[in-house]
Amino acid sequence: MPSLKKHLEQQLQQRQQANLYRHRASHLEPQAVIRHIQGRSFISFCSNDYLGLANHPALVKTCQSGLEDYGLGAGAAHLLHGHSQAHEQLETALADFTGRERALLFSTGYMANLGIISALLDRQDAVILDKLDHASLIDGAILSRAQIYRYPHGNLEILERQLKTAAERSRFCLLVTDGVFSMDGTLAPLPEMVALAAKYQAWLMVDDAHGFGVLGDSGGGCLEHFALDTEQVPILMATLGKAAGVFGAFVAGSEVLIESLIQSARSYIYTTALPPALALATRQSLQLIQDETWRRQHLQQHIQHFRAGAKKLGLPLVDSLTPIQPVILGSSEQALAASKLLYEAGLLISAIRPPTVPKNSARLRITFSASHEAQQIDYLLSQLARL
């Protein structure tokens, strides 16, 4: 039997040979459109800071004030006296923002999805997922031990067949989907999914990590975009580290849903609460999302600007109206080479490769922020044209 070290070395070599090896790059500055690495300036098109709030002065000031009031760590899990008034006020604000009875904070979106699905289902039940759903949704389904069905991306015909089968064979059925698919930027067909869920008496859960704060007139996300209510989508999850610019995640729904998760969601119960200062900053972020509507307007202008220019260049774009604008190249080798050339031109754009995306669909994942400027997008287009 090979040693652990030898086994891991072989795995890493295989990843390198398949152009699937990943690298981290560290920086010494706040999140911004312009980044500085080893003495060079770069324009970043790889951030999820869609509204440009991650370094907003009001959020920084609120967080600093919160540190003075609460200190740094929460000190304990929510159920072991780590739950502060700052957490309580944020949950109330999130419930109001989403138009739901209650909301519950989680430390990360990954933990939220693990906790929600595994708390609601067991071996008697079924969970149905889109094949492009986020890894955390898939892992939550596995952890629940429910029967798992996965349908080809956006294929409503196969989804309906799976719902029919699940309704006949299982106690309960949970239909789970990304609101905005994180690697494609496309929207789930939520109105059609709502109708199918109602037809087969399935519960519907939407992970709106990339729609929250971005879509809808007030930033309410995919549900506001499609005008869907809490009866149609009883379980809403979203993250707070993307458009909101802070950290953490939440689930919003009925009083009984939230109280049940407090009692049963292991990834909520058995972890330390978020730092209270971050909860205070997030409340400030929610207010900015609602008040500074120009941020979403600027963001949409940038997206349309880019798509119009990309169309003239004949770039292979996905039909996305969100800040996520992938350019699909095919092989991992091509995606890495393109990312490297863009880096040399002063652009930070990540190469996304399997298993994050399906085989032969490696891509450049270009993301936009309200903080970008038109000339920066023009420069991006000029460098893409060179490729």
Annotated binding-site ranges: 22, 109-110, 134, 182, 210, 239, 356
Which residue among the candidates 56, 242, 302, 372 is catalytic per the annotation?
242
Q: What is the CA radius of gyration of the chain?
A: 21
Contact 213, 244 (CB under 8 A): yes
The 10 Å Cβ neighbour count of residue 227 is 11
Annotated binding site for substrate: 22, 134, 356
How crowded is the C-beta side of 215, counted as CA atoms within 13 Å?
Answer: 24
Which residue among the candidates 83, 87, 210, 372 is catalytic per the annotation?
210
Dihedral (CA of 67, 70, 75, 78) sign: negative
Which residue among the candidates 182, 339, 350, 369 is catalytic per the annotation?
182
The yes-or-no answer on residue 305 being catalytic is no
Annotated binding site for pyridoxal 5'-phosphate: 109-110, 182, 210, 239
Please state the three-class secondary structure of 325-366 as a single string: EEEEEECHHHHHHHHHHHHHCCEECEEECCCCCCCCCEEEEE
Residue 176 in tokens: 């789970």
| Length of the chain in terms of residues written | 387
How far, in Å, CA of 19 to CA of 336, rounded? Answer: 8
Helix (H) or strand (E) holding 44: strand 40-44
The yes-or-no answer on residue 144 being catalytic is no
Backbone angles phi, psi at 274, to 5 degrees: -55, 150
Residue 72 in tokens: 């740094």
The yes-or-no answer on residue 210 being catalytic is yes
Local structure of 219: helix, strand or coil: coil
Backbone angles phi, psi at 326, to 5 degrees: -75, 145
How far, in Å, CA of 28 to CA of 356, rounded? Answer: 27
Catalytic positions, please?
182, 210, 242
